[in-house]
Structures are given as structure tokens and as C-alpha cells.
Amino acid sequence: MSETIAASFADLNLAPAIFKVIHEVGYETPSPIQAQSIPPLLEGRDLLGQAQTGTGKTAAFSLPLLSRIKPKLKAPQVLVLTPTRELALQVAEAMQTYARHLKNFHVLPVYGGQNYTQQLRQLARGVQVVVGTPGRVQDHLNRGTLKLDELSAVVIDEADEMLKMGFIEEVEQILQFAPHERQTALFSATMPKEVLEVARKHLQNPVEIRIKSKTSTVEKISQHFWQVKGLHKLDALTRILEAEEIEAMIIFVRTKLATVELAEKLEARGFSSAALNGDMTQMLREKTIDRLKDGSLDIVVATDVAARGLDVPRITHVVNYDIPHDIEAYIHRIGRTGRAGREGKAILFVAPREKRMLAAIERATRQPIKAMALPSRKDITDRRIGLFKEQIARAMESQDLEFFEELIDQYQSEYEVGHRKIAATLSYLLQKERPLQPEERFAEELPPEKPEPNTQKRPARKLDSEMQTYRIEVGRAHGVEPGNIVGAISNEAKLNSRNIGRIRLFDQFSLIDLPKDLPAEQLHKLKTVWVCDEQLQISVDSGEKQPRWDKRKERKAFGKGTLGRKKSPGKSPLQRRGGKKRKTDKA
């Protein structure tokens, strides 16, 4: 292997469709594991890689293997084995993202706990990549429902975890089904002798890579996470901005486009914010940083690359709005606060599937990351009232109020109104633009929808005469939430979210109300849209009750086997300033 390490993704000779996504998501510099793994994997070499979770190894094997995929061949060409369901979903989701410009590409996660019918349907349709846990993959192979005749590559991810969970024997049995002439990559955080024996037996003259993950202690930075649920991230961020004692903040997102979009949304909510990304000229970048330093700007929404070298002591908070792709990026991000001997606070938004990265970050920083509760309505009211009182006190101390005192005396005499009533009225007028009390509809947390029993028929629905109820084949069992559905449909069908009606979630499917006059072209496109690793397969709802999964029928069918405004009162300083273990994957 060449000693030269690629300095950018542009140097790695990835397929154009894959490189296009890399550019879109804002990746610029490959991590060490990526820079060293991608070239030999592109060449078809076997690879033995030692790297911790959070070093970017998913992209390290996904990008080169996807670059060699033949989308027209509707048969599994890549098999990725993972120790857990969660990792299988995470890897499948990442690969689907990287391959979004590959026409007719499909990736299928297979794991215990999910019924076979759905997996069989998708396997029959044709998938190019299968990501799964050993138990369920082995079941499909034994039953003949998964064929590996066209397989060109196998990835064994987190092999040491496979060993701990007792899956190594199953992994070796699975490899016997794969063609002898294939590419094999094995990744492991540690290399116990059992893992090395598997590598020696199944890898042919592999390239060996060892990445030492950098660790860092960040004693002066208080680390917290909020698990994304219920509320939209933007609403959660707004609450944090309202309630926290913040001098200045940097918010990290993954893409350049997201920096602009989020900054604009924060501006619309009254916060002094600006984007910072690689598309900005050096002059504009410097101007934005100067504004952050001098206090005329309080919030910067940035990408990792754009924030390199950023040193602004007044930054008290860092928010990871989008979780970083690797540990080093996280450490770099939170290092933007707690500078010059000052304390800082880092907040990480974590989706359920991202909890593995959270654990990896805790190990790397050698600090626990504490779960945080979002500020309540009372918290925000108290904060606004405190700021309001501060504003009154400052004006009382710094302004000559004699003229206004006489005016109040005059008003009281003319209208026979007490000072308390006048002060209350003036306070109301002063805070009218931004009320001290949040609206009554301010939700503490969005409650989950109550599940409906499988045997219960759905009640009749009253629909707008211009709306039609459609069924989509993704539901609670797949981890979907209404926001996922709305986002996918509005983005892929170019349908305004205002035209999307009620959404009802069931275990294996969901119902959604859409306009009756939805063009056939849009419907056809929506059939192939992926949400939570499931295709929508949208169709007009027939009104049937939710089907039950009968394991006995499944066994019978498949045989035996293991399964700038003016400053207003109550605004925060951030408002504008005038300008072990057991096998768990078998069903």
C-alpha cells in the first residue's frame, strides 16, 4: 500500500455518485481510518482494521464498497455483519445516505425481532447490500431466502463484540456460504486471538491498519445530552436558548446548507445568529467572527471545517445540533468553549440510534455526559421575568426619570388610577412584543401516540373532501415518528407540509392524509422513498384493520429453524442587540 495518505476525499477516486454525496454532506477531510482504508478497499484488497467506534469506520468501508456496486444487478453484492440490531440499523442508514445518487439501489437491514415477511418481501424485490446480525442472517441462509451467489464483499464489523456475544462461530458459518473469490474486511477495536484466528483463516493477504483514537480530558467543560424525541430539535434548541445563562454560543450542524437554514430560523425567532461555512469568502468569515468577538453577534451556526481554529473566549456554550461523525470531531467542537480558563457547557442532541456514539464519546473524553431535561414553561417564564427585572433596574439606575414620574402623577390625578395599576399596564405594553409568559399551548413534551390493539378496527375518520387517506408500510416497530414521514414526503414529493394531513402510527404501517389530486408521478416516487430503512410503498388505504404477525404461520410457511429588532423586555442576552452479554439478535 502506498505511504501517501489522502488529504481530501477528492484524492480518493470514489465513484462520482458517491463523491457527490460526500460533497453534499460537507465531508472534506477523511479521518485516518478512512484515508488508509478506502484506497485498498477500492482496489479489491482484503483489510484488517483496528479502530474504535467513532473513528469513522462505517464510511471507511461503505464509501469504497458502494463505489464498486452494480445497481442494475438486483442481488446482494455486499454483506455487512454487525453484533447488534442498533448497529445494523445505523450502518444501513448511513449506506443508504451515501448511495442516494445510485439509481435502483437498495440496502436491507435484517435482525431478530422484525418479522420475516417484511424482510422476505424486500429480498424478493432485490437488494444490493444486506446489513444484519449473525443470527438472522444465518436463518435466511439456512432457509434459502438469502442467496450470496453474486456476493463480492463481506464486512465483519466490531468483531471483538461478536466474540463477546458468542457470535464468532455463526460468523464463520456464514462465511462458508459466501463465494471463495470475494473481498473481506474485518474491523475490531481490539484483536484477541480468536478474532485474529478468524482473520488468518478468511482474509487473503490483508492490508493491516491500526488507528489509535485520540483521547482528551475536558475538565472545564460540562457535557450534557438531550435524547431527541417528541419536540422538534429547533423547538428544543429555542427552549435552551431561552432558559440558559448564555453569553455566546456555537451550534454545529453537518452541512453548509443547514448552517444557513438554521441561522435564518433562529433569526426569525428573535435571536442574533449567523452562518459560518466553507462557502463564505474569507472576508465575510472574518467579519462574522469579529462580530462574535465584539458581542454584536451571539450565535454562530457552523460546520466542522468552518470552525477550525475558531478562538472566541466569550463562547460559553456549544450545541451539537447534529451529532458528529467521529470522536475527534466532537472533541474539536466542544473545545470551542471552556477557553482561557473559563468554564463551558456542551450539549449534544442524540437520536436513539446514535447512543453508541454517545457511549464512545464518554470513553474518549473520560467524562460522563449527563442526560438533561429541557427547560419547562415555568423555567422560561422565570428567566424572562428575571431579565425584565434587570432591565428595569438598569434603567432606574442610569436614566433621569423625573419627567416620567411627573407624567405618571399627572395620569393618576386625571384618571384616579393607582400607581400599581399604571405600572402593570406599562409593563404589559413593554413586554407585549415578547410576553413574559410563554403561550399556553407551550407543550412540556409531546406525548407518544397511544397504541391501538391489533384486533381493534380503526374508527371512521372524517376527512376533508379534498383529502385522501393513504397507507405507508412503515410504523412504530421501525422507529418512525410523524416528523420522519412529513420530512420525507415534503422533500421527495415536493409537497408543502401544510398539505399533509393527519398521520396515524400503527405497529407495521401508518396512515396519512394527502390531497386527492396528488399526481401519479408523485405517488410513484413516494413508493420508493425510504424512511427508517423501510420503503413507504404508498397506496390508497383500504380501511382494513392492522394485520397481526402470527409466528405459527411463519414457521409453517418457512419450516423449522432459529428465528437586528429594538431590544424588548424579557429578551435574553442572546436576543438581538439592536442590530457481556448474550445472543440477542435471534427472533
Residue 65, pLDDT above cutoff 90 = yes
Q: What mean pLDDT do residues 509-526 have?
A: 85
Tell me: pLDDT of 115 over 80. Answer: no
Average confidence (pLDDT) over 176-186: 94
**pLDDT tens-digit profile of 269-317?**
888 899 998 888 878 888 999 899 999 999 999 988 778 768 888 999 9
Residue 464 contacts by C-beta under 8 Å, 6 or more apart in sequence?
501, 513
Confidence at residue 504, expressed as pLDDT on a 0 to 100 scale? 85
Residues of the chain with CATH 3.30.70.330: 467-540
Please report the sign of the dihedral spanned by the C-alpha atoms of residue 63, residue 65, residue 66, residue 68. positive
Q: pLDDT category, 575, cuts 50, 70, 90?
A: low
The pLDDT > 70 percentage for the chain reads: 83
Check: pTM over 0.95? Answer yes or no: no
- The pLDDT score that the predictor gives to residue 464 is 55
- Sign of torsion, CA 403 409 414 418? positive
- What average pLDDT score do residues 549-560 get? 39
Topology of 221-376 in CATH?
Rossmann fold (3.40.50)
Quote the strand ranges of 179-257, DSSP E: 183-188, 207-210, 221-227, 249-252
Between residues 259 and 522, which one has the greater pLDDT? 259
The confidence score (pLDDT) of residue 225 equals: 92
Indicate if the pLDDT at residue 406 is higher than 50: yes
Query: What pLDDT is attached to residue 254?
Result: 86
Cα 354 to Cα 93: distance, rounded to the nearest angstrom: 11
Answer yes or no: is pLDDT of 463 > 80.
Answer: no
Residue that is written with C-alpha cell 469504497 in the block: 64
d(CA 555, CA 461): 36
Which 3-state string (H, E, C) describes 4-31? CCCCCHHHCCCCHHHHHHHHHCCCCCCC
| 455 or 54, higher pLDDT | 54
pLDDT digits (tens, 9 = 90+) for 322-373: 988 778 788 888 888 887 668 899 999 998 878 888 888 888 777 889 998 8
Residue 3 is placed in which grid cell? 505511504
pLDDT at 562: 33
Chain centroid to Cα 285, Å, comes to 27
Positive/negative CA dihedral, 116, 121, 122, 124: positive
Pick 170 or 548 by higher pLDDT.
170
Mean pLDDT across the chain: 81
9-210 CATH? 3.40.50.300
Does the structure show a pLDDT above 80 at 126? yes
Share of the chain above pLDDT 90, in %: 31
| pLDDT-derived band at 461, boundaries 50, 70, 90 | very low
- pLDDT for position 199: 93
pLDDT of residue 438: 66
- pLDDT at residue 182 is higher than 60: yes
Give the pLDDT mean for 112-122.
83
Query: Which span out of 43-47, 108-112, 193-197, 559-563 was modeled with the highest average pLDDT?
Result: 43-47
Q: What is the average pLDDT across 39-45?
A: 96
CB 69 within 8 A of CB 99: yes
Q: What is the pLDDT of residue 431?
A: 79
pLDDT category at 549 given cuts 50, 70, 90 is very low
Fold designation for 467-540: Alpha-Beta Plaits (3.30.70)
Closest residue by Cα to residue 82 from 140, 158, 172, 138: 158
Q: How confident is the model at residue 6 (pLDDT cuts 50, 70, 90)?
A: low
Least confident of 66-70, 513-517, 570-574: 570-574
Indicate where the chain has its CATH 3.40.50.300 domain(s): 9-210, 221-376
- The band of 87, judged by pLDDT with boundaries at 50, 70 and 90, is confident
Express each pLDDT in 205-258 by its tens digit.
999 999 876 555 566 788 999 888 756 788 889 888 888 888 999 999 988 888
